[in-house]
Amino acid sequence: MRRRLSVPWFILLPAGLVLLWHAAVTEHWVTEGIIPAPAQVLKSWHTWIFGSGATMLSPYSGTWLDNVAYSGQRVLQGFALAALAAIPLGLMIGWNRLAARLIDPTVQLLRPVPITAWLPFAIAVFGIYDASALFLIGLGAFYPIVVNTTHGVRDTNLLLLRAARMMGAGPGTVLAKVVFPSALPSIFTGLRLGVGVAWTAVIVAEMIAVKSGLGYVLWDAYYVGRMDICVATMFSVGLLGFVSDRVIVWASRLLLRWRTLEAHV
Amino acid sequence: MIEIAGVWKEFAKGERRVLALQDIDLQVAPQEFAAILGPSGCGKSTLLNMVAGFDHPTRGTVRAGGEAILEPSPKRAVVFQEPALFPWYSVMENVVFGPKTQGQPAAEYRARAAQIIEQVGLKGFEASYPAELSGGMRQRVGIARVLIMQPEILLMDEPFGSLDAQTRSLMQELLLQVWERHHQTVLFVTHDIEEALLLADRVCVMTARPGRIKKSIQVRIPRPRAIEVTTSPEFNDLRREVLALIREESQRAATEAA
C-alpha cells in the first residue's frame, strides 16, 4: 500500500480556528478586552507555567504545575475509588440475578441525578475539603463504569460459559476466567467514559467545594477578569483529559491484545 | 452408557408453550458411535444439551453411567457447532483449560497436550490465538481441548456444520482416527446424512417438531472407515433409505409451517 501521510491534514482545522480567533480579536469583531488574543493566552500560559513564583502583581506566575498536581491527584484518587467500587459491583449485577434485583434499580434511580446537583449535599456533608471533591469525582466516574461492566458481563457468550462448565469450571473459575476477560473490553469503555466525567467533576468541585486546583484557578481568574488564564486553564484541562484517555487506551491495547488480532483478521 | 427414557421437553415461548421433544427413548451403549439425524428445529440439539447437563427434561430421565445428569461434567465432553474457544487464550491455553481447571498436575497435562495438539495437526500453532486460525483449525482446537480430558462420553453438536466441504471431510477423517484409537461413547448430532452414515454405528432419524425418534438404523459398514466408503453400493442403499425418511419429515415440517 502506498503511504500518503505527507500532509498532516488533522492540523488544518485547528489552525484555521486559531486564525479565526486571532482575526476576531485583532479586527475587533468582538468587544475589546473580553476575549484575549491567542498570542496573549500563550504568553500568560507560559508565565503561569514557567514564572518565577506568585507575587502581588502576578498571582499566577509559576503555579501551573502545582494546580495540575492538585487536580490530577484528585482525579486519580476519585477515579480509582470509582473503579474499585464499580467493577466488582458491575460484575455482581451482571452475573447474579439477586444482586441485580437488589442493587440495579437503586443505581438506575440515582444515576440521572447530575453530579452538579450533588454539590450542596457534598459540601454540607464533607465540608470544603478534598473529601467533597473525591465524593463528586468518584460518584461521577462510578456510573459509566458500573453500567458498562454490567453490560459486558451480560454480553458474555453463552457457549463460552457452557464450554467452561463442561470442562469442570465452578462459578468462581467461570467468573474469573471467562466472564471477566469477556467483559474487559466493555469495562475499558466504562473507564474511558468515567475518566472523562472525572475531569468534569474535578473542575466543578474545585470551582466551589475546594480552594485549589485548575477548577479553582478557572473561577478565580474569571472573578478578577483574567480571561487569558481562563482560556489557558480550559486548554490545560482538555490536554490532561486527552492524556488520561490515551493512557487508558494504551493499557487496554496491552491487556486486550487478543482483541486487536480479531480486528485485523 | 447413555440412557434417555421417556423424555419430554417443553419450552415457554412468550404465552405459548412449544413441545420440542416428545417421548424420546434412546440408549447409547458404551463405545457406540450414535448419530442423531433430523431436520432443523427438530430438537436434536436440545436432546444433546440435556445429555450434556446444560438443560433438563420437562418429563423423563437422562442418565449417564447409571447416574442422573444434574449438571455439566468433564466426563461428558461437548464439541459445539461454533468452536466456542476463549479468544483471550492461546491454542495451548485453550487446550489445557480443562485439566488445569480440574487441578491436575501441570507436568502431566502439558505432555498430553503436546501429543494431542500434534494428533489434531496443530503443531506449531500452540502460541497462536483463535483469531489467527481458520475455521477448521479452530474446530481442531475445540476437539483437542475435549480429548485431553479423556472423556468417557463425547457429545458433538453439528461440530463441522459451519466448515466448507473440503475441511469438513478432513475433520470427519480426523474424528474417525481419534475414535478408532479411544472408542469413546459418542452422541453426534447432525443434519448431514452422509456425515451420519460415514461416522456412526447407528443413525437415529428424528421427526420434525415435536421431535420423536422416527427410526433407528444400524450402519454395518466395516471399520476402519475412510471417506471412500461413501461411494460404495452399500452406503448408497443406506443413503437412499435415510433420505426418504428425512424428506418425509422436511415436507411435513414445511407444510405445517405454511
Q: In order of start, what are the domains of chain A with their CATH numbers?
A: 64-264 (1.10.3720.10)
Give me the pLDDT at residue A265, please: 44
Give the pLDDT mean for A197-212.
Answer: 93
pLDDT band at B14, cuts 50/70/90? confident
Compute φ and ψ for B215, nearest 5 degrees. Answer: -160, 145
Q: What is the pLDDT of residues B35-67, one digit of tens each?
A: 999 888 788 999 999 999 999 999 999 999 999
Please tell me the least confidently modeled range out of A40-44, B35-39, B82-86, B207-211. B207-211
Tell me the pLDDT of chain B averaged across its residues: 93
**B87 touches A: beta carbon within 8 Å:** yes
Q: What percent of chain B has pLDDT over 90?
A: 80
Say if residues A26 and A18 touch (Cβ distance below 8 Å): no
Say if residues B120 and B140 touch (Cβ distance below 8 Å): yes
Under an 8 A CB cutoff, do B52 and A261 touch? no
- Alpha-carbon distance of A238 to A232, in angstroms, equals 10
Under an 8 A CB cutoff, do B78 and A258 touch? no
Residues 218-237 on B with a CB inside 8 Å of A are none
- Alpha-carbon distance of B112 to B106, in angstroms, equals 10
Tell me the pLDDT of chain A averaged across its residues: 92
Give me the pLDDT at residue A138, please: 97
Q: What is the pLDDT of residues B209-222, one digit of tens each?
A: 888 999 999 999 99
Say if residues B176 and B225 touch (Cβ distance below 8 Å): yes
**B74 touches A: beta carbon within 8 Å:** yes
Q: What percent of chain A has pLDDT over 70?
A: 97
Cα distances (Å, whole numbers) of residue A138 to A125, A243, B118: 15, 19, 52
Distance to chain A for B90, nearest Cα, Å? 9
Q: Judge whether residue A2 has pLDDT over 70.
A: no
Residue A182's closest chain B neighbor by CA?
B88
Give me the pLDDT at residue A29, please: 87
pLDDT band at A189, cuts 50/70/90? very high
Cα distances (Å, whole numbers) of residue B82 to A62, A141, A157, B139: 61, 37, 11, 8
Give me the pLDDT at residue B162, please: 87
Contacts of A169 in chain B (CB under 8 A): 97, 101
Distance to chain A for B103, nearest Cα, Å? 10
Under an 8 A CB cutoff, do A166 and B76 touch? yes
Contacts of B145 in chain A (CB under 8 A): 167
Interface confidence, given as ipTM, is 0.93
- Alpha-carbon distance of B125 to B130, in angstroms, equals 10
Please tell me the least confidently modeled range out of A203-207, A260-264, B225-229. A260-264
Give the pLDDT mean for A138-144.
Answer: 97
- Alpha-carbon distance of A158 to B28, in angstroms, equals 27
Q: DSSP label at B185? A: E
Q: What is the pLDDT of residues B166-191, one digit of tens each?
A: 989 999 999 999 999 999 999 999 99
Under an 8 A CB cutoff, do B131 and A258 touch? yes
Residue B203 belongs to what H/E stretch? strand B202-206
C-alpha cell at A116: 452538579
Under an 8 A CB cutoff, do B132 and A162 touch? no
Give me the pLDDT at residue B93, please: 97
Burial A236-247 (b: 16+ CB within 10 A, else e): bbeebbeebbee
Under an 8 A CB cutoff, do B52 and A160 touch? no
Question: Does domain B2-75+159-164+179-257 match CATH 3.40.225.10?
Answer: no
Residues 125-164 on B with a CB inside 8 Å of A are 129-132, 145-146, 149
Give the pLDDT mean for A156-160.
Answer: 96
Under an 8 A CB cutoff, do B78 and A168 touch? no
pLDDT band at A163, cuts 50/70/90? very high
User: What is the three-class DSSP state of B4?
Assistant: strand
Give me the pLDDT at residue A129, please: 82
Residue B74 has its nearest CB partner, among A159, A166, A184, at: A166
Domain range annotation of chain B: 2-75+159-164+179-257
